[in-house]
Structure 1
Amino acid sequence: MSTSKDNNDWLARIRLPVLLILPTFVILIIFSYNGVSVNRIRSMDEHDEMMTRASFCASEGNQSSHDARYLFSEWNEEAFLSLRKKVEKYFKLSKSIIIYDPEVKFVNMSFTLRPSKLDRTHGITPQCTCAVIGSSGLLLNSSCGKEIDSHDFVLRTNLPFIRGFENDVGEKQNITTVNAMGAEILANELLVYMNRTFNGEQRPTNETEDEKKGRLALQRLKDLKRAILWQPKMGTREFKVVINASQEMGLKFQVAYTTTSTVRASSRVWRTSAPSTGLILFTAAVTFCDKISLYGFYPFHTDRYNNTIKYHYYEDVEFNFDTNVHKMPNEFLKLTELHKKGAIRHVTDRCEH
């Protein structure tokens, strides 16, 4: 009985201190937990900021004419990151360029607005140096081919002709666009060619002009090899015709589409109502590439030496830059300003070797 009484007395003696200390202990635990949470949130914020500032370029290493990093001695990282921040406010890469895995057949391409793992798609890998190639006649006799090909990643507009122009425009291509009108023309040209030659027949000696266009269209698609063909505007029926016909003929290029309006996003970035395909392609490049060179973005009929130049380096067509809906001269001024700030390289002259 004495032992029981002693135990009760001991419990009575510690009850009050425990009741006084326990709330404080609980509060300390809560504050400690919250402190960890706050620190964790803070570290996540710092990580996000670090990722925003992180460069996709590895150590500079030994640079040479085969490595385009040597071209960017005047690159202004702060100016470029400011540009990227502005672009990423409106232009979402993960929704803008969705690439089907190479082995996916056309019949399994749903072009869904919400792709899942079942769709077998992926995005673009971040790059250090990129060359974005327009189609201005300024590229003719520029000798920029080797310089262009020295970039890690080369983006081209509207499936241009490359064969025969390699010295001036290079031959490397990782992604090329095709706009809605281009897809329609391409689909029609391919269908004409397939109807005449694909069923085991050899190309006729009396090839018509339309058949010639189809043959050349097929050649441009073949020259893509394993590169990506991207329609930056919402997919059209004609684009799907091109993809289906190309796979039927055994071509292996990759297919990319968008689930958002890249036109609207680019319009908001640059405050223009109708951005050109070239400007949309450049806008996309800003989101995944650090050091960007532009070639062939020159919407004028004469160069700085007052020499007449073509609209496209690979064809003779009439074009009025002043009345065109895209307002390319205004786009040129915006790109030139970025060049002056060191955010990008905007090449408007011959290349030196």
Structure 2
Amino acid sequence: MSSYCAPWTYQTAKAQGLRIFLFVSVFYLLFLMLLTTHWNMNIFADTTLVIPSGDKNAFICGNQSLVNTSRIMAECLFTNYNHEAATSVKSMVNQRFNLLNAIQIYNPDVPMVFFEDFCSRLKVNRTKLHHTKLANNERVTRFIKITDELGIHSKGTCAVVGNGGILLDSGCGREIDAHDFILRNNLAPIKQYVNDVGSKTDIMAINNSRLNKLVTNLLQNGTTSQSVEDFDRLRYLNESVLWHSKLVLLQRRVVTNLHDILQKHHLPIRLAFSLETNLRNTGKIWNIDVPTTGLISYTLLSLFCDKVSLYGFYPFSKTPNGDKVQHHYYEELKFNYETGTDHTFLKEYHLLRDLHREGAMRLVSDRCNGTNIKSKG
């Protein structure tokens, strides 16, 4: 009996082993496919932050203990940070940019012609400036003081918030606000989208087109819907810096008019302008013919920020899994990223993606509440 059953038992065991092997192999392949798909859909998820339910001010970063400060939260995001890559970018930008010229607080007591003449003739940095004979000049002293008022010093973590539709329903607001310094673009609405884009703003950069549109709207004194909307957006900035990021030479009168309007309506906003050809300098650094305001903003922040995150930079109408993405997070516009503008959006995106992969910065294009920050329980 036993000699008859032995072969049958052996064959059965062998078949069962084969079935187990096939099952495990298929499961492993499915796991690899799922992992690969997730990586392709979100190459930007550096880490996982878990927010314990019931405590919105606390979270767990990876295997770290429970922490409750936004600074630790921001630092936790940069697990892929490469100091050498970031330093290389900063060194490259330093060769083209002078921060003193790139962003300057407007003051009616110092004529713009003086700023332009002073900066064009004096090819020295701030440290050297204090040791020159010009340092005793009243206007020069005021010039230095005004620059100091901007309060730009070395920052640990910074966020550049673009206006891409990928931010809609992203839940990235808390993550964005965790950064030490936040720069936004073109006066996009914030108040209605705090959960997705955050609420804090240190600098709001605007380009030539938005500057002219803003002044035109504000001169309507709230008699049109566009005027009312722009006044509301400015009030929400609350003592932030409104920075005209392009060269000011051809926009002196517009900048002066904007300053007068802000003063007239008692809006607590500091106006800033640029004496640098930021567009040309940024273009030469990255080999981009007409860089966007977003790329100019990142380039500027790399001068004084150790670690930079970019949000809302996604020039595609669909996500990798086929979900529709509108042009801006606050409005739907028909837009062709390849032919609808002088900007080379796709080239910029691939540049930023490569910088992200090198660890020089973070490019976020996924739902923060679905990947980077997850609710617990």
Residue in 2 that maps onto 1:85: 91
Select 2:70's aligned residue among 54, 66, 86: 66
Deviation at 1:291, TM superposition (A): 0.5
Residue in 2 that maps onto 1:140: 168
Deviation at 1:118, TM superposition (A): 2.6
Deviation at 1:223, TM superposition (A): 1.1
1:349 aligns with 2:350: no
Residue in 1 that maps onto 2:146: 121
In 2: Cα distance, 1:257 partner to 1:88 partner? 19
Residue in 1 that maps onto 2:206: 178
Q: Which amino acid aligns with 2:105?
A: I
1:26-55 CA-partner distances (Å, limit 9, x unpaired): xxxxxxxxxxxxxxxxxxxxxxxxxxxxxx
In 1: Cα distance, 2:225 partner to 2:110 partner? 30
1:268 aligns with 2:281: no
Structure 1 residues 1-353: aligned runs within 5 Å: 64=68, 66-67=70-71, 68-100=74-106, 104=107, 107-111=108-112, 112-113=115-116, 114=118, 116-119=140-143, 120-123=145-148, 124-193=152-221, 196=223, 211-235=224-248, 236=251, 237-323=253-339, 324-351=341-368, 352-353=373-374
In 2: Cα distance, 1:344 partner to 1:64 partner? 24
Q: Which amino acid aligns with 2:147?
A: H
In 2: Cα distance, 1:117 partner to 1:318 partner? 50
Instruction: Please report the TM-score for the alignment, with normalisation by the length of structure 2.
Output: 0.69
In 1: Cα distance, 2:221 partner to 2:360 partner? 44
Q: How many equivalent residue pairs?
A: 274
Residue in 1 that maps onto 2:135: none
In 2: Cα distance, 1:176 partner to 1:304 partner? 30
Q: Which amino acid aligns with 1:340?
A: R
- Higher mean C-alpha deviation, range 141-150 or range 253-262: 253-262
Are 2:166 and 2:365, in contact at CA under 8 Å, matched by a contact in 1?
Answer: yes
1:310-341 CA-partner distances (Å, limit 9, x unpaired): 11111222222101211011000000001101
Judged with a 3 Å threshold, the aligned counterparts in structure 2 of structure 1 residues 188 and 174 are, in CA distance, closer, same or farther, namely same
Are 2:158 and 2:307, in contact at CA under 8 Å, matched by a contact in 1?
Answer: yes
Deviation at 1:295, TM superposition (A): 0.3
Judged with a 3 Å threshold, the aligned counterparts in structure 2 of structure 1 residues 271 and 71 are, in CA distance, closer, same or farther, namely same
Deviation at 1:228, TM superposition (A): 0.6
Instruction: Please report the TM-score for the alignment, with normalisation by the length of structure 1.
Output: 0.74
In 2: Cα distance, 1:305 partner to 1:151 partner? 29
Q: Which amino acid aligns with 1:66?
A: S
Are 1:63 and 1:69, in contact at CA under 8 Å, matched by a contact in 2?
Answer: no
- Higher mean C-alpha deviation, range 218-227 or range 163-172: 218-227
Deviation at 1:246, TM superposition (A): 1.3
Deviation at 1:63, TM superposition (A): 5.8
Structure 1 residues without counterparts, runs of 5 or longer: 1-60, 197-210
Counterpart secondary structure, 2:76: helix
In 2: Cα distance, 1:153 partner to 1:130 partner? 5
Deviation at 1:239, TM superposition (A): 3.0
Deviation at 1:109, TM superposition (A): 4.9
Are 1:65 and 1:147, in contact at CA under 8 Å, matched by a contact in 2?
Answer: no
Are 1:180 and 1:239, in contact at CA under 8 Å, matched by a contact in 2?
Answer: no
Q: Between Structure 1 and Structure 2, whose CA radius of gyration is higher?
A: 1
Root-mean-square deviation (CA), in Å?
Answer: 1.9
In 2: Cα distance, 1:330 partner to 1:295 partner? 17
Structure 2 residues without counterparts, runs of 5 or longer: 1-64, 120-139
Q: Which amino acid aligns with 2:184?
A: R
Judged with a 3 Å threshold, the aligned counterparts in structure 2 of structure 1 residues 168 and 109 are, in CA distance, closer, same or farther, namely farther
In 2: Cα distance, 1:109 partner to 1:280 partner? 26
Judged with a 3 Å threshold, the aligned counterparts in structure 2 of structure 1 residues 178 and 262 are, in CA distance, closer, same or farther, namely same
Deviation at 1:240, TM superposition (A): 2.6
Counterpart secondary structure, 2:183: strand
- Percent identity of the aligned residues? 35
Are 1:63 and 1:70, in contact at CA under 8 Å, matched by a contact in 2?
Answer: no
In 2: Cα distance, 1:168 partner to 1:65 partner? 20
Are 2:186 and 2:210, in contact at CA under 8 Å, matched by a contact in 1?
Answer: yes
In 2: Cα distance, 1:184 partner to 1:178 partner? 10
| Moved beyond 4 Å, runs of 4+ | 61-65
Q: Which amino acid aligns with 1:297?
A: F
